[in-house]
Each structure stands twice: as C-alpha cells, then as structure tokens.
Structure 1
Amino acid sequence: MALSEHEQRLLEQMEAAFAAEDPKLADTLSGGSGRRLETRLAVGAGLGFVLGIALLLVGIQTFWLLSILGFLVMLAATIVGLTAWQKKDGTTPPKPGRTKPPVGAHDRRFMGRFEDRWNRRQEGNGR
C-alpha cells in the first residue's frame, strides 16, 4: 500500500529528526556502509599483520631486508587496524592538548567525591 504525499513527507521528517537525535543508532538501523568499510579495514589490517609476521620470519632466515619490510607491514597494519577499530566503536583518541577531562557535576570521578566528603567532615559540615 502506497503512502500519500503528506504521509511520505511526515515519514521523511521523522526519519530526519531521528537521524539528528541519534545518528549512530540511525546508521546502525539503516545498515550504513561506513560500518562495513571500517570492518573491512579492520579485517584487512589483521591479515596484513599476519602477512607481516610471515615476512619477518622468512626474512630472518633468508634476507634481512625482508624482515624489516615485514616489521613495517606489521606496524602499518596495526595503525590502520586500531584507527578502524576506534571509528567502529565510536571512541576517539584523546586530544593531545588536554590531559584531564572537564570536571562537571556528573563528570566527577569516584575518588573526587570521597575527597569532597573528607574535606566536609574535616570542616565539620559532614553528616
């Protein structure tokens, strides 16, 4: 059964609002191609790492430059694999300029709360 133009517009608006609200979930439910590409990169990196180990071992027994090439292949595969894995999981590496996360009301660490309690008790305001 076909939708009327009005229903199609409403559906498109709802989809757009859903995608804006939670883009990760919308991408997962729509079967986004970005995930497949990252998965392929991660699998390719794993195969590249195994190839690098093979080159390293063969190079040790035959020609030493081949073992260096194997190490470089392993290094490149590791970098590509970790990058693809981080993108797939949605995690991002920390920015180089920031060492500590911002401290907010709900971002406080476990030990920070205990320190606050300890300080209040020392001041006589604790329970």
Structure 2
Amino acid sequence: MPLSEHEQRMLEQMERALYAEDPKFATALEGSGLRTYTRRRVYQAVAGFLVGIALLMAGMVWQQIWISVVGFLVMLGCAVLAVTGWRKAPKAGEQAGAGAGGAAGGPARRQAKPRRSMMNRIEDRWQRRRDEQGH
C-alpha cells in the first residue's frame, strides 16, 4: 500500500532531520542493507564451497562415494549462491549516500542529485520481488 503525499513528505523530513542530527549514524544505517547482506552471503558461499571441496577429497581418500557426492552437491549449491549473490550486490555508486556521500561532501552531492526517499527504495524492492516471483 503506497504512502500518501503527506506521509511521504513527513518521512522525507524525518530522514533529513536524522541526517542533520547524526550523519554518521544515518550513513551507517543506510549502508547496512542489501550490500552488506549480499557480501556476507558471498563470503558464506565461498566458505561452503571450500567445505564441499574438503568433503569431496575426504570421500575420495576414504573411498566413500556418497561423501564425495555430498561434497560435490555442497560445492555446486554454494557456487550458485555465490554467483547469484555477486550479481545482486549493488555497485559502489548505486546506493545513494552510502559511501562517499555520507561524510565527505555529503550536502553538495545531495544538492546536485536529489536522493530518493527510503520509502521509494523499499517500494521499488517490493515491486521487483513481486515481479520476480510472478515469472
């Protein structure tokens, strides 16, 4: 359910007030979203891939085919997770204000390119998820 114009203005005012009062905290909150999640997911997938290699080799050493098959499946699943996580990870300039826009030169950058409100970003993500599930 989309917000009314009044609610959107109120939310944008609250965002601006948060940036004015504590820009470091606001930047930390903004940067802890999708980028951090996907980075952590990729690291976990790489670690799982290494565990899969260890299982594959252990199965070969102990001559237990089923351990090797499990290791291969773990490797395959983790490779898929790593690749999909890597593709979904936002690039450095995609998230407005997350990196360079926070501390050094933040207000000048915001004036040059207007920031999208947090609710607009959430609505866009929600719409993308609905579109992905529909196909």
Q: Taking CA–CA contacts closer than 8 Å with sequence separation of 6 or more, which of the two structures ends up with the larger relative contact order?
A: 2
TM-score (norm 1): 0.48
**Taking structure 2 as the reference length, what is the TM-score of the superposition?**
0.46
